[in-house]
Amino acid sequence: MTTHKLLLLPGDGIGTEVMAEVKRLIDWFTAQGIASFETEQDLVGGASYDAHRIAITDEAMVLAHKSDAVIFGAVGGPKWDDVPYELRPEAGLLRLRKDLRLFANLRPAVCYPALAESSSLKREIVEGLDIMIVRELTGGVYFGEPKTITDLGNGQKRAIDTQVYDTYEIERIARVAFDLARKRNNKVTSMEKRNVMKSGVLWHEVVTQVHQRDYKDVTLEHQLADSGGMNLVKWPKQFDVIVTDNLFGDMLSDIAAMLTGSLGMLPSASLGEVDVKTGKRKAMYEPVHGSAPDIAGQGMANPLAMIASFGMALRYSLERGDLADQVDQAIAAVLAKGLRTADLKSDGATIVSTSQMGEAVLTELQTLMG
């Protein structure tokens, strides 16, 4: 049996709590001989800053490069508000994305039938929703230079962030989106702001070219990112795959998360280019929710996005789509039974803790695979 090398980076806040529930699954799969994992664990974010005065160490980066998949919790919190910008917890996450070249961020927003009532939107708007946001993750305004604050000397300062995209960056993310659409409902909606941004003009042009050249069988539609956001809450079922840049993808995926009932439900996969020699790609899996300092340490965080992220690792990195399907089914079953963490309020639901939720998922898996 192949042994999968995982690097676990729980990070800060609820990151450590939800990661414990993934460990529970890993241990069970291993004990049952269903899969074989070799796990290492290290610090990232504020936890790493506290120990090493840096948001991720070179040693942890070496482990990340060597792993088949990085499983990441969350970073940040008010404790590190005054840490210098370069050393802030988020810098650890951004270095992982940049150094591992994880340009393609897949954020599936699925509304489980049992959760249609938990969304702030009406049931008919979200029930049965299944969309995939493909966010470009290593370019755009997150990484563009210059990125500075300059003192103008007259009591004023000037802050600059740079939104920059090259053709190849847009091409490769467009391909990821079109390839995914072919396996889904065959539709891609590209979102940018070509009415005000040059990068939007190029984005629109390149996505159109890639479509014309290689993906004419897929339906392509363009929306301006602001009205795209509006459409996401107005009638989200019009979308199948949404492809967008780093910053718009960050915002639109938080919006999409709420369609599923809670930010605590959205998993994500960040993927690099496939290595032609090995056929493998670097990858990191993380829940879209953050470290949620307001509820950290209380055992009330929802571990489902973290567990579903591990499911995505099984599917996209470890060639265990069979196990990923079981994990997804177990999550759906637990929700169907009425178990809810506090973020998923609904009438008549049983509120459970983080570990009770993790345990319930494992129990369902045992039933499904027993």
Residues that bind Mg ion (CB under 5 A): 250
Per the structure block, which two tokens stand in for 128? 């049965």
CB-based closest residue to ligand IPM: 90
Per the structure block, which two tokens stand in for 213? 């050249």
Residue showing tokens 């210059």: 146
Quick check: bond before 146 cis, omega within 30? yes
CB-based closest residue to Mg ion: 250
Q: Are 284 and 312 in contact (CB under 8 A)?
A: no
Smallest separation, CB 315 to Mg ion (Å)? 22
Q: Which is nearer to ligand IPM, 93 or 121 (CB)?
A: 93
**Total binding residues toward ligand IPM, as defined by CB under 6 A:** 6
Say whether 115 sits in a helix, a strand or coil: helix
d(C-alpha 34, C-alpha 141), whole Å: 43
Q: Which is nearer to ligand IPM, 7 or 55 (CB)?
A: 55
Of 40, 90, 179, 221, which lies in the binding site for ligand IPM, with binding defined by CB under 6 A? 90
Start-to-end CA span in the chain (Å): 20
Q: Which is nearer to ligand IPM, 25 or 252 (CB)?
A: 252
Residues in Cβ contact with 230 at an 8 Å cutoff, skipping those fewer than 6 apart: none
Q: Which does 323 bind (CB under 5 to 8 A by kind): Mg ion, ligand IPM, none?
A: none
AA identity, residue 5: K
Q: Which is nearer to ligand IPM, 90 or 127 (CB)?
A: 90
**Contacts to ligand IPM from residues 287-326, by CB under 6 A:** 288, 290
Smallest separation, CB 77 to ligand IPM (Å)? 11
Q: Which does 292 bind (CB under 5 to 8 A by kind): ligand IPM, Mg ion, none?
A: none
Q: Which does 90 bind (CB under 5 to 8 A by kind): ligand IPM, Mg ion, none?
A: ligand IPM
d(C-alpha 88, C-alpha 78), whole Å: 11
Rg (CA), the chain: 20
Of 8, 43, 93, 295, which lies in the binding site for ligand IPM, with binding defined by CB under 6 A? 93
Smallest separation, CB 158 to ligand IPM (Å)? 23
Of 136, 250, 328, 364, which lies in the binding site for ligand IPM, with binding defined by CB under 6 A? 250
Q: Are 346 and 117 in contact (CB under 8 A)?
A: yes
Catalytic residue list: 142, 193, 226, 250, 254
Smallest separation, CB 139 to ligand IPM (Å)? 12
Smallest separation, CB 105 to ligand IPM (Å)? 8
d(C-alpha 285, C-alpha 312), whole Å: 7
Residues in Cβ contact with 111 at an 8 Å cutoff, skipping those fewer than 6 apart: 119, 126, 127, 128, 129, 130, 259, 260, 261
Residue showing tokens 């459409």: 231
Smallest separation, CB 89 to ligand IPM (Å)? 8
Q: Which does 102 bind (CB under 5 to 8 A by kind): ligand IPM, Mg ion, none?
A: none
**Contacts to ligand IPM from residues 42-81, by CB under 6 A:** 76
Q: Which does 93 bind (CB under 5 to 8 A by kind): Mg ion, ligand IPM, none?
A: ligand IPM
Q: Which is nearer to ligand IPM, 40 or 90 (CB)?
A: 90
Q: Which is nearer to Mg ion, 250 or 286 (CB)?
A: 250
**What Å distances lie between residue 293 and 80, 86, 207, 288, CA to CA?**
11, 21, 39, 15
Which segments of the chain are extended strands (E)? Answer: 3-11, 36-41, 69-74, 104-110, 130-136, 144-151, 157-162, 187-192, 219-224, 241-244, 269-271, 283-285, 339-340, 350-351
d(C-alpha 282, C-alpha 7), whole Å: 12
Q: Which is nearer to ligand IPM, 124 or 294 (CB)?
A: 294
Smallest separation, CB 341 to ligand IPM (Å)? 20
Other beta carbons within 10 angstroms of residue 359's beta carbon come to 16
Q: Which does 99 bind (CB under 5 to 8 A by kind): ligand IPM, Mg ion, none?
A: none
Binding site for ligand IPM (CB under 6 A): 76, 90, 93, 250, 288, 290
